[in-house]
């Protein structure tokens, strides 16, 4: 039985998530850390096994999204994109967008150590929430809720160079090896205005020419430069 005060907090979280659970106890468990159950007499369980299921659901949701969103990308490119999205740092950032940490049940020690703000804890609890969603509503609804919340954040993450300026690195390497710099040309745009995919051709020499794909011209150029650096190394 969920206490009235806790039920109010869960209702607020569900409004932020954009989904109301038919079985709110699933969500309650997904937001309960093992440190809380260890310090209380409540036998509601914690999110650890849900995290396992949520990890699998997240992989399928993102894999499907990337496969449909970027049909020109090959398996290696899609795998690289997915690995960026399922990183602990990325998932923690997504959790913070809906203030997930504010709704966690933590033990006193975990609370004092700043558990609500730890990347590892936030990432794990977001996966647990996805598992609770999956159990409550099925995969398609879980995918819809997740993408409604995070599609824009996903595209921003894919567009960022992840701390690496591949175009700058390639220019330095090209000057040293060939005495010239690469050129970039947008060869195709596809998709609706709010969700475009760009194809950018990178030309260095007749032997070194490739096309990058991304949600912006900048991202597509970075992708092309990353590919060519792989060929030159």
Q: Where are the domains of the chain?
A: 4-159, 166-232
Taking residues 205-231, report their average pLDDT. 87
Q: What is the dotted CATH code of the domain comprising 166-232?
A: 3.30.160.20
Fold of 4-159: Ribonuclease iii, N-terminal Endonuclease Domain; Chain A (1.10.1520)
Side-chain half-sphere CA neighbours of 7 within 13 A: 6
Check residue 162 and give its pLDDT.
57
CA 232 – CA 110 distance, rounded (Å): 48
- The pLDDT tens digits of the residues spanning 160-172 come to 655 467 888 888 8
Which pLDDT value is given to residue 134? 97
* 2, 60, 98 from 114: Cα distances, Å: 25, 31, 18
3-state class (DSSP) for residue 154? helix
Closest CA to 222 of 166, 182, 159: 166
Total-model pTM: 0.71
Residue spans of beta strands (DSSP E) within the chain: 183-190, 197-205, 208-214
Work out the average pLDDT over 172-201.
Answer: 88
Active site residue 127: yes
Percent of the chain whose predicted confidence (pLDDT) is above 70:
96
End-to-end CA separation in angstroms for the chain = 60
Backbone φ and ψ of 219, nearest 5°: -65, -40
When pLDDT is averaged across residues 93-107 and rounded to a whole number, the result is: 94
Which of the pair, 4 or 216, is modelled with greater confidence?
A: 4
Choosing from 51, 110, 127, 155, which is the catalytic residue? 127
Give the residue with greater pLDDT, 233 vs 37. Answer: 37
Confidence class for position 176, pLDDT limits 50, 70, 90: confident
Q: What's the whole-number mean pLDDT along residues 132-151?
A: 96
The per-residue pLDDT of the chain, averaged, comes to 89
pLDDT band at 43 (very low <50, low <70, confident <90, very high): low
Concerning whether 144 is annotated as a catalytic residue, the answer is no
Q: In the predicted model, is pLDDT for residue 159 greater than 80?
A: no
Residue 13, class by beta-carbon neighbours within 10 Å (0-12 exposed, 13-18 middle, 19+ buried)?
A: buried
Least-confidence region, from 110-119, 122-131, 140-149, 190-199: 190-199
Residue 95 has pLDDT above 60, yes or no: yes
pLDDT at residue 102, rounded to an integer? 94
**Residue 91: per-residue pLDDT:** 94
Handedness of CA 24, 27, 29, 33 (dihedral sign): negative
DSSP, res 114: T
Taking only the tens place, the pLDDT of each residue in 7-38 is 999 999 999 999 999 999 999 999 999 888 88
Quote the Cα angle for 168-171-175, to 5°: 150
Q: Find, among 173, 221, 215, the residue nearest to 197 by Cα.
A: 215
Among 55, 88, 111, 119, the one annotated catalytic: 55
Residue 102 phi, psi dihedral angles, 5° rounding: -65, -20
What does the pLDDT read at residue 42? 66
pLDDT at 73 over 80: no
C-beta neighbour count of 109 within 10 angstroms: 11
Distance CA 125, CA 209 (A): 43
């Amino acid at each position: 039985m969920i206490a009235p005060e806790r039920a109010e907090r869960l209702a607020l979280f569900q409004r932020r998530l954009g989904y109301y659970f038919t079985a709110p106890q699933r969500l309650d468990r997904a937001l309960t850390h093992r440190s809380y159950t260890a310090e209380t007499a409540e036998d509601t369980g914690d999110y650890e096994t849900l995290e396992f299921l949520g990890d699998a659901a997240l992989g399928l949701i993102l894999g499907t999204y990337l496969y449909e969103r970027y049909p020109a990308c090959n398996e290696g490119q899609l795998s690289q994109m997915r690995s960026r999205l399922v990183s602990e740092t990325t998932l923690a950032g997504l959790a913070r967008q809906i203030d997930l940490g504010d709704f966690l049940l933590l033990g006193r020690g975990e609370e004092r150590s700043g558990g609500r703000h730890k990347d590892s804890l936030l990432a794990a609890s977001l996966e647990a929430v996805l598992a609770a969603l999956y159990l409550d509503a099925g995969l398609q609804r879980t995918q819809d809720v997740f993408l409604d919340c995070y599609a824009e954040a996903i595209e921003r993450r894919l567009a960022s160079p992840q701390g690496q300026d591949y175009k700058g690195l390639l220019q330095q390497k090209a000057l040293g090896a060939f005495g010239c710099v690469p050129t970039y040309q947008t060869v195709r745009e596809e998709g609706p205005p709010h969700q475009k995919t760009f194809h950018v051709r990178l030309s260095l020499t007749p032997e070194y020419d490739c096309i990058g794909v991304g949600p912006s011209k900048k991202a597509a150029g970075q992708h092309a430069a990353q590919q060519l650096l792989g060929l030159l190394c």
